Amino acid sequence: MAAPTTRVVRDDLRVLFDAAVHAVSAEVTMLRALPLATHGRTVVVAVGKAAAAMMAVAQARSPKPLEGVIVTRYGHLPPEGTSWPGVEVIEAGHPYPDERSVAAATKVLDIAHGLDAGDRLLLLLSGGGSALLAAPAAGLTLDDKQGVTRALLQSGATIAEINCVRKHLSAIKGGRLAVAAGAAQVTTWIISDVPGDDPSFVSSGPTVADTTSLAEARDIIAEYGVQTSPQIAAILADPANETPAADSLGLAGVETRVIARARDALVAAASQAGEFGYQVMDLGDQLQAEARHLGASHAALARRLAKDGTPRAILSGGETTVTVVNKTGRGGRNLEYLLGLAIALDGAPKISALACDTDGIDGTEDAAGAVVTPDTLIRAAALGLDARAHLDRNNAYDFFEKLGDLVVTGPTLTNVNDFRAILIEGDRA
């Protein structure tokens, strides 16, 4: 069935994104029955970009008020605010930790240390927690953590590689929060933002046993040529800083459940695309590559598929990387993906695309992502914008901002990472 001629493809793209985000919202994915302690207290620690929404659903579904703490990125609270007695709210830095991140980690560790046997720690975890909970290992400063985080994020390292290093420089990550909870029950519900959905890598797995090692962390630092302080080098060389083993101090008994993932978002978008009349090609939710290169590759695929005139939706998820050469550039991985795609499409007719981060923020700017249409490069040239120069200087945000093609949603209060959709209009009926 051909896609209806009256539908604006740009609108279709936005509807697909909205369907994807809704499918992984806390309201849809949070379990109905909360694991409450039978003899003691249940304390809820909600951490990440979805923290406030997850806490709200937990409170609504609990038979009694819950105490605890919300730790989220600045600006990622619902417009109506939060007002639960016994719940502290801490907003902190992301993607780089700040002093509030340290205060948040201290608060959460204090909560865990204060639990007794028969109590339960319910951790509601989503992406962003690696920066939001910063407890530098003994001998490290916040400046040390900020520096290595910035260098890794700009190096092109994958999120798994970055979090491997983070876990070995922390007093809370890599299962250490579960250790701090002692004999208390620990339950973790996760909205996953990492390719593969390994819970040990979501927010660096504060309650999940780590499968990486100090040696791997050192190799990552060396592979990407990251310059570290002598203190960081010393920490990574000290066997005492290896993350806790799975069978140590109760970690083996921790209950962990991934409740939402990028796959769920793609399934919802595919269903919607089918209703619109597009034949769906799902490339998977674990794509990892340099953003601009993946964009060029997807452009070649779209051009090839467009030849038969069939309306198609090419969907994908995952987390690309960006190697930053211009430290003052503005943009994120989704914008670089789109600019690489637009250049490779070179105005190919009837092909449009959207790429957005499901948390509503791509990189450090205020946009979730942007849209590319067949006339993107023509409109850019009319404004004197050189697409290649903007990409080379990591200035994709400025490019799409001047075109008026940014997608600005504000924080969505969920996060399963990147969502990409390419629509081929095909031959209209």
CB contact set of 222 (below 8 Å; sequence gap of 6+):
none
Q: Which residue has the higher pLDDT, 80 or 257?
A: 257
Average pLDDT over residues 248-273: 89
| The pLDDT of residue 416 | 96
Whether the pLDDT of residue 251 is over 70: the answer is no
CA-nearest of 102, 75, 105 to 91 is 75
Q: Which alpha helices (H) appear in 168-284, and where do they start and end?
A: 176-180, 214-223, 230-237, 262-276
* Residues 25, 26, 28, 30, CA torsion sign: positive
One-letter amino acid at 332 equals G
Q: Cβ neighbours of residue 47 under 8 Å, at least 6 residues apart?
A: 70, 71, 72, 104, 108, 123, 124, 125, 126, 128, 129, 132, 133, 203, 206
Cα radius of gyration (the chain) = 22
Q: How far apart are CA 61 and CA 58, in angstroms?
A: 5
3-state secondary structure of 126: strand
Q: Is the pLDDT assigned to residue 319 strictly greater than 60?
A: yes
Domains of the chain listed by start with CATH number: 9-22+263-424 (3.40.1480.10), 27-135+170-209+244-260 (3.40.50.10180)
Q: Which of 353, 359, 315, 313 is nearest to 335 (CA)?
A: 353
For residue 322, which of 273, 376, 362, 371 has the smallest C-alpha distance? 362
Banded pLDDT at 79 (limits 50, 70, 90): confident
Nearest-angstrom CA–CA distance, 327 and 308? 43
Structure tokens at 95: 């993607």
Strand order in the sheet with 369-372: 279-282, 312-318, 418-424, 351-357, 369-372, 406-407
Residue 2 burial (CB count, 10 A): 14
Q: Kindly state the percentage of the chain with pLDDT values over 70.
A: 97
The pLDDT tens digits of the residues spanning 23-60 come to 999 999 999 999 998 889 999 999 999 999 999 999 99
Contact 40, 121 (CB under 8 A): no
pLDDT tens digits, 197-232: 999 999 999 999 999 999 999 999 999 999 999 999
Distance CA 166, CA 160 (A): 10
pTM, entire model: 0.92
Number of other residues whose CB lies within 10 A of the CB of residue 349: 10
Q: What is the mean pLDDT of residues 98-111?
A: 98
∠ CA 109-110-114 to the nearest 5 degrees? 115
Identity of the residue numbered 208? V
Res. 4: pLDDT tops 90: no
Cis, peptide link before residue 65, omega less than 30° from 0: no
- pLDDT single digits (tens) 50-65: 999 999 999 999 999 9
> How many CB atoms within 10 Å of residue 189?
25
Look up tokens 């890598």; give the residue. Answer: 201
Arithmetic mean of pLDDT, 380-388? 98
CB atoms within 10 A of CB 335: 37
